[in-house]
Chains A and B, each alone.
Chain A
Amino acid sequence: MNIRFTGFGGQGIVLSGVIYGWAAILDGKNAIQTQSYGSEARGGSCKCDVIIQDSYIHELEPSELDVLVAFSQPAYDTYVPTLGSGGILLVDQDLVNIEESREKTLSIPATDIAYKKMNRKIMANIIMMGYLTGKTRIISAESVEKSISSYVPAKTIDENLTAFRLGLELP
Chain B
Amino acid sequence: MKFVQGDEAAAYGAIFAGCNFFAGYPITPASEVAELMSLELPKVDGYYIQMEDEIASMGAVIGSVWAGGKSMTATSGPGFSLMQENIGYACMTETPCVVVNVQRSGPSTGQATKGAQGDVMQARWGTHGDHEMIALAPNSIQETFDTLIEAFNLSEIYRNPVMVMTDGEIGHIREKLVFPDPEELEIIPRRLAEEKIDIFGGERIPPMIEFGMGSQVHVTGSTHKSNGMRDVSTQSVHDELVRRIYEKIDSNRENIVRYKTEFIDDAEYLIVSYGASSRPAYGALENLRKSGLKIGFLRLITLWPFADRIISETGKNMKKIFVPEMNLGQISREIERFVTCKVIPVSKIGGIPHTISEIETKIRSNL
Which residue from A25, A30, A37, A57 sits with its C-beta under 8 Å from B172?
A: A37
Q: Give chain A interface residues in 1-49, CB to chain B under 8 Å.
A: 18, 21-22, 25, 30-35, 37-38
Q: Does B179 contact A (CB under 8 A)?
A: no
Contacting residues, chain B, for A35 (C-beta < 8 A): 172
Q: Give chain A interface residues in 45-65, CB to chain B under 8 Å.
A: 57-61, 63
CA distance A19 to B357 in the complex (A): 29
Query: Is there an interface contact between A33 and B173, defined as CB atoms closer than 8 Å?
Result: yes
Q: What is the interface size of chain A, counting residues whose CB is below 8 A from a CB of the partner?
A: 18
CA distance A31 to B141 in the complex (A): 11
CA distance A155 to B163 in the complex (A): 42
Interface stretch, picked from B117-125, B220-228, B278-286, is: B278-286
Query: Is there an interface contact between A59 and B175, defined as CB atoms closer than 8 Å?
Result: no
CA distance A61 to B169 in the complex (A): 9
Query: Is the contact region of chain A dominated by helix, strand, or loop, or is it mixed?
Result: mixed
Which residue from B169, B176, B276 sits with its C-beta under 8 Å from A30?
A: B176
Query: Is there an interface contact between A63 and B3, defined as CB atoms closer than 8 Å?
Result: no
Q: A21-B174, A33-B173 are in contact. Are A58 and B28 (CB under 8 A)?
A: no
- Cβ of B212 to closest chain A Cβ, rounded Å: 43
CA distance A91 to B174 in the complex (A): 25
Query: Is there an interface contact between A59 and B3, defined as CB atoms closer than 8 Å?
Result: no
Contacting residues, chain A, for B283 (C-beta < 8 A): 58-59
Q: A25-B3, A37-B113 are in contact. Are A58 and B173 (CB under 8 A)?
A: no
| Residue ranges of A at the interface with B (Cβ–Cβ < 8 Å) | 18, 21-22, 25, 30-35, 37-38, 57-61, 63
| Residue ranges of B at the interface with A (Cβ–Cβ < 8 Å) | 1, 3, 28-29, 113, 169, 172-176, 276, 279-280, 282-283, 286, 352-353, 355-357
* Known contacts A35-B172, A61-B352, A63-B356; 8 further A-B pairs (Cβ under 8 A): A18-B3, A31-B175, A32-B173, A33-B174, A33-B175, A38-B113, A59-B280, A59-B283
